[in-house]
């Protein structure tokens, strides 16, 4: 009961004499109920911890689950609702972070695509140089949304913008130099 965070006793205390068999008969359904609650709580913990681990691996630089200290079954000794709520809050925060990063990655990838189109550079080759998952098709395909990927995209965008500016300056320079000779 303490593992589940419950502190109430389910047995009714009779003032009269109760045989051991009757006491056992009263305890067995309570124990069965507690076992069911514990199994359900373990399943909830496992589901939440699995989702947390999955998102951690998506956010990390290396998709290596061995890097994480806590396994989904590591905290079976504390199955209280307080701890479950704590894990749910952690999961919600990670889901928000993942969503924010996905939006940022998609924004960056779209910008790289646009710049590559303007400059005539191979988009697939450019994003594959950052991370191969950025060019893979499919909704189910997981994109790498780590800090390294975001930094790589940001750096690539800066380089492509610098290249675009360089080309514009070069064209303007040629245009202006050709105008001087025409006058």
pLDDT in tens, 20-33: 888 888 889 999 99
Q: What is the mean pLDDT of the chain?
A: 82
Contact 149, 105 (CB under 8 A): yes
Instruction: Using the CB atoms, write b or e for 1-36: b if 16+ within 10 Å.
Output: eeebeeeeeeeeeeeeeeeeeeeeeeeeeeeeeeee
Residue 8 has a pLDDT of 60
Cα(58)–Cα(141) distance, integer angstroms:
12
Query: Quick one: pLDDT band at residue 141, thresholds 50, 70, 90?
Result: low
Residue 14 has a pLDDT of 56
Contact 130, 149 (CB under 8 A): yes
Residue 6 has a pLDDT of 62
Residue 73 has a pLDDT of 47
Query: Quick one: pLDDT band at residue 67, thresholds 50, 70, 90?
Result: very low
Is the per-residue pLDDT at 183 higher than 60? no
Residue 181 has a pLDDT of 59
Cα(168)–Cα(141) distance, integer angstroms:
37
Residue 91 has a pLDDT of 95
Tokens of 4: 């589940």
Cα(135)–Cα(76) distance, integer angstroms:
40
- What digits encode the pLDDT tens for the residues 160-177? 999 999 999 999 998 888
Cα(129)–Cα(157) distance, integer angstroms:
13
């Amino acid at each position: 009961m303490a593992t589940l965070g419950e502190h109430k006793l389910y047995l009714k205390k009779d003032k009269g004499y109760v045989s051991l068999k009757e006491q056992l008969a009263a305890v067995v359904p309570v124990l069965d109920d507690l076992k069911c609650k514990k199994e359900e709580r373990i399943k909830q913990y496992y589901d939440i911890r699995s989702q947390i681990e999955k998102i951690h691996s998506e956010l990390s630089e290396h998709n290596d689950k061995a890097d994480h200290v806590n396994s989904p079954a590591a905290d079976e000794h504390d199955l209280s609702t307080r701890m479950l709520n704590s894990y749910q809050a952690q999961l919600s925060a990670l889901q928000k972070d993942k969503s924010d990063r996905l939006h940022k990655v998609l924004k960056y990838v779209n910008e790289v695509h646009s710049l590559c189109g303007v400059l005539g550079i191979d988009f697939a080759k450019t994003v594959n140089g950052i991370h191969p998952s950025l060019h893979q098709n499919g909704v189910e395909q997981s994109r790498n949304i780590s800090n390294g990927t975001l930094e790589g995209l940001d750096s690539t965008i800066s380089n492509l913008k610098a290249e675009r500016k360089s080309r514009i300056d070069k064209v303007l320079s040629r245009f202006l130099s050709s105008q001087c000779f025409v006058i």
